[in-house]
Amino acid sequence: MAEGDQKSPGRSRISEKDRYRYIGFEVFPGKPKDLFKNDAEKEKLVEAVRARRQSDETLREDCKLMEERVGFGEKLVMTVASLVILAALVLPWYSAYTVVRDETPEPTATEEVADSLTAATTAAGTLGMVDSLALAGAALTDTAAAVAAEQTAQPARRQSGPGVVSHRGTRANEEIITGHTARARTHREYTRLTGFGSFAAIGSVGSYVFSSGFVLVLSGVMMLIYGLVCVALPIVNIYNLFGVKGRPDEQAVRLKKVLRFNWLPLILLVFVIVLSFIGTDYGFNAEDTYTSLGTSFGIGTVFNTLSWGVFVAMAASLLLAVKGIEI
């Protein structure tokens, strides 16, 4: 053992040529070329390395850790999204409608006429009377004859029921029946509230909401908080984008924490939808107020009442919340 240890230091080391040959699995199978074109380029690089060693910088020049986390373009997009949340407050947030019946004139009553057999008998009697008067020498004017002929040619009409009138032709085996059914025409009259308008309507609409069941009261409180959040979030977001001072890394960390609050609109809306599955009764006659509210509060009432302004604000807040994950 001692003999082997004594021989190992005396073994020849590999040459520089062999060492370069086997670096990187024969990336340089032959003799490598010089790294520098000339001595001036080598001296320039060596001086740059010495100057960096003497400085306090410990990271390389193109270190990715020193890149700005939130660029100006990203700040611009987040500013636009925040302004969209604020602008959504002037869009319709809630809508309800009432079904109103149109005023239409009553259909005119159809004249009750005898059936076809009676009409045919009457026409035959009229013709027989004309013939007997002609044989008797009575003077019948041409006008009376034309009237009798016209009465004979007219089809008999028969009332078959309410809203249905049948017409019989000149021949006994033909009958054309036409009918109509009178239906009431209605239209919907909508009432809409914007985000800002919902705050002003707390005194009127709020009295109906807060006088109903606990589920509807809690849903009303959640939607009120939803509106307040949509007012506060744009202000907080824009302030942290441009108003906070400090190093870029510190600004990014603080912005990441603030952007988490943009999940609140989604959380509140999901909470209201979950409550609507439980449902509750109204504390007022909803059908007399708005037909779209139905007889009780439920999931159908939520989607019939919420308008597109609510979803625009939620979509913009989700864009900001997702960006907070990326930072």
- In 3D space, the residue among 204, 312, 211, 220 whose CA is nearest the CA of residue 265 turns out to be 312
What's the pLDDT at 277? 92
Q: Residues of the chain with pLDDT > 90: what percent?
A: 28
Residue 281, strand partner residues: 296
Weakest mean pLDDT among 32-36, 45-49, 88-92, 145-149: 145-149
Q: Residues of the chain with pLDDT > 70: what percent?
A: 64
Mean predicted confidence (pLDDT) in 29-56: 80
What's the pLDDT at 263? 96
CB atoms within 10 A of CB 241: 19
Summarised one tens digit per residue, pLDDT across range 209-235 is 888 888 999 999 999 999 999 999 999
Does the structure show a pLDDT above 50 at 195?
A: yes
What's the pLDDT at 322? 94
- Considering 134-148, 169-183, 299-313, the range whose residues carry the highest mean pLDDT is 299-313
Summarised one tens digit per residue, pLDDT across range 162-190 is 544 455 555 555 666 665 565 668 877 88
Indicate yes or no: pTM above 0.85: no
Does the structure show a pLDDT above 60 at 131?
A: no
Mean predicted confidence (pLDDT) in 29-55: 80
Mean predicted confidence (pLDDT) in 70-96: 92
Mean predicted confidence (pLDDT) in 66-91: 90
What's the pLDDT at 110? 44
Using DSSP, state whether 31 is helix, strand or coil. coil
Return d(Cα 19, Cα 303) in angstroms, integer: 75
Does the structure show a pLDDT above 50 at 245?
A: yes
pLDDT, greater one: 233 or 124: 233
Does the structure show a pLDDT above 50 at 114?
A: no
Summarised one tens digit per residue, pLDDT across range 4-35 is 455 555 456 777 666 666 655 555 555 667 77
Q: Residue 90: pLDDT band by 50, 70, 90 thresholds?
A: very high
Does the structure show a pLDDT above 50 at 153?
A: no
pLDDT, greater one: 145 or 88: 88
Return d(Cα 97, Cα 94) in angstroms, integer: 11
Does the structure show a pLDDT above 90 at 321?
A: yes
Does the structure show a pLDDT above 50 at 40?
A: yes
Return d(Cα 211, Cα 206) in angstroms, integer: 8
Sign of torsion, CA 282 284 287 292? negative
- CB-based contacts of 177, cutoff 8 Å, min separation 6: 160, 164, 166, 167
Summarised one tens digit per residue, pLDDT across range 247-303 is 888 888 899 999 999 999 999 999 999 999 998 888 777 777 788 788 888 898 898
pLDDT, greater one: 205 or 116: 205
Half-sphere exposure of 92 (CA within 13 A, CB side): 11
Query: What phi and psi, each to the nearest 5 degrees, are found at residue 186?
Result: -130, 165
- CB-based contacts of 174, cutoff 8 Å, min separation 6: 168
Please work out, in degrees rounded to the nearest 5, the angle formed at the alpha carbon of residue 320 by the alpha carbons of 316 and 322.
115
Taking a C-beta distance cutoff of 8 angstroms, is the pair 229, 267 a contact?
Answer: no
Contacts made by residues 286-293, CB under 8 angstroms, sequence distance 24+ = 289/98, 289/208, 290/96, 290/97, 290/98, 290/191, 291/97, 291/98, 291/99, 291/188, 292/95, 292/96, 292/97, 292/98, 293/96
